[in-house]
Amino acid sequence: MAVLKVENLTKVFGATRAIDNISFDVELGDIMVIVGGSGCGKTTTLRCIAGLEDPTDGVITVDGKVVAAPGRSVPPEQRGIGMVFQSYALWPHRTVFENVAYGLQRRNLSADAAREKVTGILKQVGLSGFEDRYPSTLSGGQQQRVALARSAVLQPRLLLLDEPLSNLDAKLREQMRDELREMIKMFGMTAVHITHDQAEAMALADTMICMRSGRIEQVGSPREIYRTPANFYVADFIGACSFLTGVAVETDDESSTFLIGDAMRLRVRTRAPVQPGSKSVMAIRPDGIQIGGAMEANAENQFTATTLRETFLGSHSEYLLDVGGHRLKADSSADLTVGQACRVRIDPAKIVLVPG
C-alpha cells in the first residue's frame, strides 16, 4: 500500500522550475531517499509534501487522502506528517523531556499517559536518563535522536527528513545513518529522507530517487541504481565509475564486443540489441575490475595495466589504472605500488551501456 503518492508534481518560483512534473509512490514501511545535487529540488519536494509550500500543479495523497491538488491544500498539521530538519530545530530553553512532550500537548492525553509515552520513546532511542538535560548540553548525535523521538512520539503516518545528518562529523554521520535506519524500522514508520550524499542515500534507502534539475532521472533500489544506472548522470553521481566510449564490432543476442581506441577490445553483456557499428558509452564500477593473476592465453577482457595512483583505505585500496591508454578506477586489496604493472580482468556482466 502506498502511504505517499506524488503525481505530476510541479513547483515554479518566478522563472525557476524547481520541480518539473515528478511522480513517485512510497510504500508502507519503506524508506525512500531522494538524492541529487544542490538546487535540484529536494527540499522543495519535501516542503510540498509537508504542506509548507503549495504546488504549482500536481496531486499529493497521504494515506489515501488528497492533501494537495489544484485548488486544494490541507494544512500541515492535519496531514499526519512528522518532520526532522537539518538543524533539528529543538527548543533550546526546553529540556529533552519537554521537547519530546511538546507535540503531545494538543492530543488530550492525561499527564501520566503523556509521561509514559515520552519515557518509552526516549528509552527506544537510547536517551533514558537525559530527560532533564538541555539541547545545548547534548552531542550532535544525541540532539538528532531527540529530534527523531519528538517526531516519532506523535506516530506520524509519514516522516520527512531533510538532511538531518549533515551537521554531524563524518564518523558520527556514518554511525547515525545506520542508527537512523534501525530506528525508523523499529518505529515501523514510512519515511522520505533527502540528502546530497550518495553513500548516505545508498545506506539508508529501500528505494532511491535520483533527481536532477527538478526531474527524476531514475527510481530503484540502491543495488539497481548502482548496478544498472539509467544514464551517464546517474552512473557518475552515484558511486565511483569509469567511462569508455567504443564502437560495436561484433554483436549477438546476449553480448557485444566494442573496439575502444585502436587496440582495446571489450566484451559487454547486453540486455538490449546493439547495432553493429554504433557508438556507445560504457560505465564500469570499480568492483567490475579484478586485479591480479597471471595472463591467460586467449582470455577475453584481459589487459595489462599500470597503477597510476593508490588510495589506501584499510580494507582495500582504490586504484587509478592505465589500461591501454584509458584511465579506469578499480578496488582491490592487492597492495600494488604506483607504477607497478599488473593484469586486470573486466567482468562483461559488470559493464553497463549508458545513454549520454
Q: How many residues bind Mg ion (CB under 5 A)?
A: 1
The answer to the question of residue 196 lying near ligand ATP (CB under 6 A) is yes
Fill in the DSSP letter of residue 333: -
Residue 191 CA to residue 181 CA, distance in Å, equals 10
Nearest residue (CB) to ligand ATP, 43 versus 280: 43
Helix, strand or coil, per DSSP, at residue 91:
coil
Name which of ligand ATP, Mg ion, none residue 44 binds, using a CB cut-off of 5 to 8 Å depending on partner kind: ligand ATP
Nearest residue (CB) to ligand ATP, 9 versus 354: 9
Residue 333 CA to residue 329 CA, distance in Å, equals 13
The answer to the question of residue 198 lying near ligand ATP (CB under 6 A) is no
**Contacts with 104 (C-beta within 8 Å, 6 or more apart), sequence order:** 114, 117, 118, 153, 154
Q: How many residues bind ligand ATP (CB under 6 A)?
A: 12
State the burial class of residue 264 (Cβ atoms within 10 Å of its Cβ: 0-12, 13-18, 19+).
middle
Alpha helices in 11-139 (DSSP H): 42-50, 96-101, 111-124
Binding segment (CB under 5 A) for Mg ion, from list 38-46, 171-179, 292-300, 312-320 = 38-46
Closest distance between Mg ion and the C-beta of residue 296, in Å? 51
C-alpha cell at 111: 499527564
For ligand ATP, the binding residues in 31-50 under the rule CB under 6 A are 36, 38-44
CB atoms within 10 A of CB 322: 16
C-alpha cell at 68: 494537495
Q: To the nearest 10°, report the CA torsion of 154, 155, 161, 165.
A: 80
Nearest residue (CB) to Mg ion, 43 versus 251: 43
Name which of Mg ion, ligand ATP, none residue 290 binds, using a CB cut-off of 5 to 8 Å depending on partner kind: none
Nearest residue (CB) to ligand ATP, 45 versus 280: 45
**171: amino acid identity, one letter:** K
The answer to the question of residue 126 lying near ligand ATP (CB under 6 A) is no
Name which of Mg ion, ligand ATP, none residue 151 binds, using a CB cut-off of 5 to 8 Å depending on partner kind: none
Closest distance between ligand ATP and the C-beta of residue 121, in Å? 29
Name which of Mg ion, ligand ATP, none residue 196 binds, using a CB cut-off of 5 to 8 Å depending on partner kind: ligand ATP
Q: Which of 4, 6, 9, 18 binds ligand ATP (CB under 6 A)?
A: 18
Phi/psi of residue 41, nearest 5 degrees: 110, 15
First to last CA, the chain: 35
Residue 277 CA to residue 273 CA, distance in Å, equals 12
Closest distance between ligand ATP and the C-beta of residue 257, in Å? 41
Closest distance between ligand ATP and the C-beta of residue 162, in Å? 8
C-alpha cell at 178: 545506520
Q: Which of 16, 87, 166, 221 binds ligand ATP (CB under 6 A)?
A: 16
**Contacts with 318 (C-beta within 8 Å, 6 or more apart), sequence order:** 240, 286, 310, 311, 329, 330, 331
* x-or-dash string of contact with Mg ion, 40-79, rule CB under 5 A: ---x------------------------------------
Q: Which residue is nearest to Mg ion (CB)?
A: 43
Residues binding Mg ion (CB under 5 A): 43
Residues binding ligand ATP (CB under 6 A): 13, 16, 18, 36, 38-44, 196
